[in-house]
């Protein structure tokens, strides 16, 4: 009589089969691990409004925005490339070393000092156009953070200056946030004693308004 026990799989063979199944499962997961999104490296290029004049580094706009975006699930690192007093031309002049290789996107916030000094809006536009063109030439996406002229500069100046950002965004196909200081400008409770630079609460208001648009902009790059 033949014993059916003779047909039981050898225990060693069964163990090896289990190992092969486990290896196959791990190999199947490798493509998913490789597809995991890398950190998006972003540069906030601007003047004192970006730099965070009068504030600790951790309360400046780039740091606060990075924290807000991470809370929304974005793996992002935002470098603070703000320099107090910079005009649009100054930002263009230092662009190459302020925006390192590997940068995926730039948040471009310049022009406030041009306006405060009453510089020709045409010159501001030319400098911003040059910065945008240079960044696009390097394959870096740009989100334009707009500025508005102060009322005391007159209607003609305001019209010429305020039109800069919308015109450039349309010409270059950029994401535009029309007014960086929206909700903060003119509010003493949200500005430092100089009346021009946001305090910590003011930065929170700016970030609260900007986080959504910036998230939408960056998620298109993460795909």
Which residues have a catalytic role annotated?
A: 48, 194, 197
Sheet containing strand 141-145, edge to edge, reads 76-82, 40-46, 105-109, 141-145, 175-177
* Residue 76 near residue 69, CB atoms below 8 Å: yes
How many whole angstroms separate alpha carbon 195 and alpha carbon 177?
A: 22
- CA-nearest of 223, 220, 221, 216 to 69 is 216
44 contacts 109 by C-beta, under 8 angstroms: yes
Q: Indicate the SS3 state at residue 41.
A: strand
Distance CA 24, CA 28 (A): 6
Axis-axis angle for helices 155-172, 121-137 (nearest 10): 20
* Residues in CB range of 88: below 8 A, 6 or more apart: 110, 111, 114, 123, 124, 127, 128, 131
């Amino acid at each position: 009589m033949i014993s059916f026990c003779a047909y039981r799989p050898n225990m060693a063979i069964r163990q090896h089969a289990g190992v092969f199944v486990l290896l196959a499962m791990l190999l199947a997961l490798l493509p998913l691990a490789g597809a995991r999104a890398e950190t998006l490296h972003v540069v906030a290029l601007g003047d004192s409004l970006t730099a965070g004049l009068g504030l600790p580094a951790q309360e400046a706009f780039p740091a606060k925005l990075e924290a807000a975006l991470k809370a929304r699930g974005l793996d992002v690192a935002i470098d603070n490339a703000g320099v107090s007093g910079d005009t649009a031309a100054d930002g263009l002049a230092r662009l190459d070393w302020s925006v390192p290789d590997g940068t995926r996107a730039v948040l471009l916030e310049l022009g406030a000092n041009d306006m405060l000094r009453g510089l020709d809006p045409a010159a501001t536009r030319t400098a911003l156009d040059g910065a945008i063109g240079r960044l696009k030439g390097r394959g870096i996406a740009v989100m334009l953070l707009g500025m508005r002229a102060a009322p005391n500069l007159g209607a003609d100046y305001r019209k010429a200056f305020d039109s800069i950002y919308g015109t450039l965004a349309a010409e270059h196909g950029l994401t535009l946030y029309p007014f960086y200081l929206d909700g903060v400008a003119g509010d003493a409770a949200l500005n430092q004693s100089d009346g021009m630079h946001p305090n910590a609460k003011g930065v929170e208001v700016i970030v609260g308004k900007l986080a959504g648009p910036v998230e939408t902009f960056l998620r298109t790059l993460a795909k």
